[in-house]
Amino acid sequence: MNEFELIARYFTRPARRAVLGVGDDCALIAPVAGMQLAISTDMLLEGRHFLPGADPEALGHKTLAVNLSDCAAVGALPRYALLAGALPEADPQWLEAFARGFFALADRHDVEVIGGDTTRGPRTFCVTIIGEVPVGRALLRSGAQPEDVVWISGEVGAARVGLAVMREEPGITPPATLREHALQAMHRPQPRVELGLALRGIASAAIDISDGLIGDLGHILERSHVGAEISMMQIPASDWLKSRATDPKTAAWAREFVMAGGDDYELCFTAPPALEARVLEAGRHAGVAVTPVGQITAAAGLVVRDDNGDILDLASIRAFDHFAESAAA
């Protein structure tokens, strides 16, 4: 089977919304009046973003999920995706499972795959996602104002626990039910697309937590020229992880998991205090918990208070090295 047959078999679907889909030099799309397009690209590499031997169906899901999450963070409705991939060999079974995971999520969000590129090489995927957002309604990192409440969707740290379970990191032994939940969080993150849409006109700023809460909230603060004070104990995480974060014997890694654990793809966003009820309603509408964790301050810098109300030394939390790992602009 040559490459064109592979693409045709697993990744080509008839164009629906697009004017022209896979199969020409470019795809063609017709913009919708009154809409801006939100566009992002992410590259995933084996050994860095996923482990060799990763389940291909889960990987197909995650490859698209991390991109949908970028649309969610700006309140855009994802519409089109392009998928470029390198594969070490043309394994139809592997490709079929990857495509199943990818398209199951694409179909759930009514996202159309309009282009691609396939190459032999170290297993690598690069997705470009294109979403629609009404003019002037995108959620940006730059809109946070002093007094705004800082919110987080779902819970954080779970994907990092999943990674610890996968790697069998010593001393990190969550209960069986949490293990399963954490592995799911790591392998099958749920992009908060509905929440992003529901937060249009409510959130003043938003970002997805791909690289860890401290770093990603830091981007909001930097772009908004503000600071924030948040409470570690208010950060939504599993009871097990929270209890480890207050136990001096385990606090070092547990606090890192909560505050700098990446790969959760929850939303961190800000909203004026007067809009609390609307934020909670947006969360209910989207079917995901939303938790206030602190507030934006006029003074620059991020202050995190621990369970005793003391200010945490964030420098002691392992900084996520964004070149050593990865980051989307």
| From candidates 13, 15, 17, 39, binder to a copy of itself by CB under 8 A | 39
Smaller CB distance to a copy of itself: residue 18 or 158?
18
Binding segment (CB under 8 A) for a copy of itself, from list 6-14, 160-168, 234-242, 275-283 = 6-14
Position 9 contacts a copy of itself (CB under 8 A): no
**Contact flags string 176-215 toward a copy of itself, x per CB under 8 A:** ------------------------------xxx-------
Closest CA to 94 of 120, 55, 49, 48: 55
Give dist(CA 19, CA 21) in Å, integer.
Answer: 7
| From candidates 56, 101, 131, 191, binder to a copy of itself by CB under 8 A | 131
Binding segment (CB under 8 A) for a copy of itself, from list 140-148, 187-195, 252-260, 296-304 = 140-148
Binding segment (CB under 8 A) for a copy of itself, from list 43-51, 161-169, 170-178, 258-266 = 43-51
265-324 residues in contact with a copy of itself (CB under 8 A) are: 321-324
Give dist(CA 95, CA 92) in Å, integer.
Answer: 5
> What's CA 225's distance to the chain center, in Å?
23
Give dist(CA 279, CA 267) in Å, integer.
Answer: 12
- Minimum distance, C-beta of residue 29 to a copy of itself, in the bound complex (Å): 5
63-92 residues in contact with a copy of itself (CB under 8 A) are: 69-71, 73-74, 76, 80, 82-86, 90
> What's CA 98's distance to the chain center, in Å?
19
Residues in the chain: 329
Helix (H) or strand (E) holding 114: strand 112-120
Distances (CA, A) of 245 to 237, 252, 327: 10, 7, 26
Q: How many residues bind a copy of itself (CB under 8 A)?
A: 81
Position 54 contacts a copy of itself (CB under 8 A): no
Give dist(CA 108, CA 117) in Å, integer.
Answer: 23
Position 122 contacts a copy of itself (CB under 8 A): yes
Position 28 contacts a copy of itself (CB under 8 A): yes
Give dist(CA 277, CA 149) in Å, integer.
Answer: 12
